[in-house]
Amino acid sequence: MKKAVILFNLGGPDNLDNVEPFLFNLFNDSAILNLPLFLRYPLAKIISKKRTPVAKDIYREIGGSSPILKTTQDQANSLEKSLNTKQKDSNYRVFITMRCWHPRASETVKLVKDFNPSEIILLPLYPQYSAATSGSSLSEWEEIADKNDLKINTKIICCYPQDTKFIKAHSNLIKDKIKGLQNFKLIFSAHGLPEKNIKKGDPYQWQVEQSVKKIMEEINEKSSVDYILSYQSRVGPIKWIGPSTEDIIIKNSNLKKHLVIVPIAFVSEHSETLVELDIKYEKLAKKNGCENYTRIEALGINEDFIDCLSDLILYKEDHKFTDSLYSPQNKCPSNYIKCPCLS
């Protein structure tokens, strides 16, 4: 029995010439700029053109391109191997779809159609659900699949913020890094969102908080670790959720703390881990008196994380919510109306 798994990620430019079109795709997404197309399109053109010089400098720091396609392909290969090892009577093939660069949904749909599976499983590489990430990717897939007459039984695994093996993957990496450390601050850093998104019912912040809570329950079994959750990558003049990672780094660097940074919402290395966390924030920390700065790697092909993903697929019936939606056992509170389980 053939089954297709679609991994969703943001994508990134494969060379400096493609930075501007990548940014345009990002800002032309209605989940990012919630405007009618006739307004969103020209505004996305203006914003992407304006941001391109700075973005090019960022990608120059990591060799002139984003590594996210390679890291996601590595995850796809590891997941495919895990699935076919665990369930030998099925033929799993794992495909990649990027929201803002190649391979786009329009390309992947054709590959899946040629594979002709009996079932399709959609799995965002965003552990915590947001309408701006997982929601946007899933909506685009559904639209493109419909246009291409891809009428195959499709299941959606919307998020996994408290999954046992996802939590284990993080907690084991953290335990290994903080073993023997003194006078340190554990800083969980997640991509931020405008505060208005949360007020409109996006569950992202709540889900990130639940991930951190579960990880700290694992870590604090035998000790009490000083930690905080913060948010990075803030842009524009509007108010974003906080506290900001920059502010937390400055405060704790002034206190001469050893900073240990955990990318809690990023599972693939890309510019926001390799440049923002590794270069920009370390410079900020050292400037403000920090002598020791440690960044824990993104989960990538961590064995526990790949095991998490394969089990989510193989045992999805344990989390069945509707005929097509497979959600976590711990549902979002009712005020988070953007959650797929509540919308």
Question: What distance lies between CA 43 and its chain's CA centroid?
Answer: 25
Which residues in 10-144 belong to E strands, given as ranges? Answer: 91-98, 119-124
pLDDT digits (tens, 9 = 90+) for 164-197: 999 999 999 999 999 999 999 999 999 999 999 9
Name the H helices within 122-266.
136-147, 164-178, 195-199, 204-219, 245-254
Sign of CA dihedral 105, 111, 113, 116: negative
The predicted structure's pLDDT at residue 302: 98
Q: Does 45 reside within a domain?
A: no
pLDDT band per the 50, 70, 90 thresholds, residue 51: very high
Q: Does 117 reside within a domain?
A: no
Distances (CA, A) of 288 to 160, 222, 251, 264: 36, 32, 8, 24
pLDDT band per the 50, 70, 90 thresholds, residue 310: very high
Q: Is the pLDDT of residue 223 over 80?
A: no
Q: Is the pLDDT of residue 220 over 90?
A: no
Number of domains within the chain = 1
Percentage of the chain surpassing pLDDT 70? 99
Q: Does 314 reside within a domain?
A: no
Q: What is the mean pLDDT of residues 26-32?
A: 94
Q: What is the mean pLDDT of residues 137-142?
A: 98
- Cβ–Cβ < 8 Å for 105, 97: yes
Q: Is the pLDDT of residue 221 over 80?
A: no
The predicted structure's pLDDT at residue 126: 98
Q: Is the pLDDT of residue 231 over 70?
A: yes
Q: Is the pLDDT of residue 125 over 80?
A: yes
Q: Does 291 reside within a domain?
A: yes
CA–CA gap between residue 325 and residue 341 (Å, rounded): 8
Q: Is the pLDDT of residue 222 over 70?
A: no
Q: Is the pLDDT of residue 263 over 90?
A: yes
Q: Does 32 reside within a domain?
A: no
pLDDT band per the 50, 70, 90 thresholds, residue 100: very high
Q: Does 35 reside within a domain?
A: no
The predicted structure's pLDDT at residue 208: 98
Domain range for 253: 164-295
* CATH assignment at residue 273: 3.40.50.1400
Q: Does 168 reside within a domain?
A: yes
Q: Is it true that the peptide bond before 237 is cis, omega within 30 degrees of 0?
A: no
Q: Does 229 reside within a domain?
A: yes
Sheet holding 293-295, edge to edge: 227-232, 184-191, 258-263, 293-295
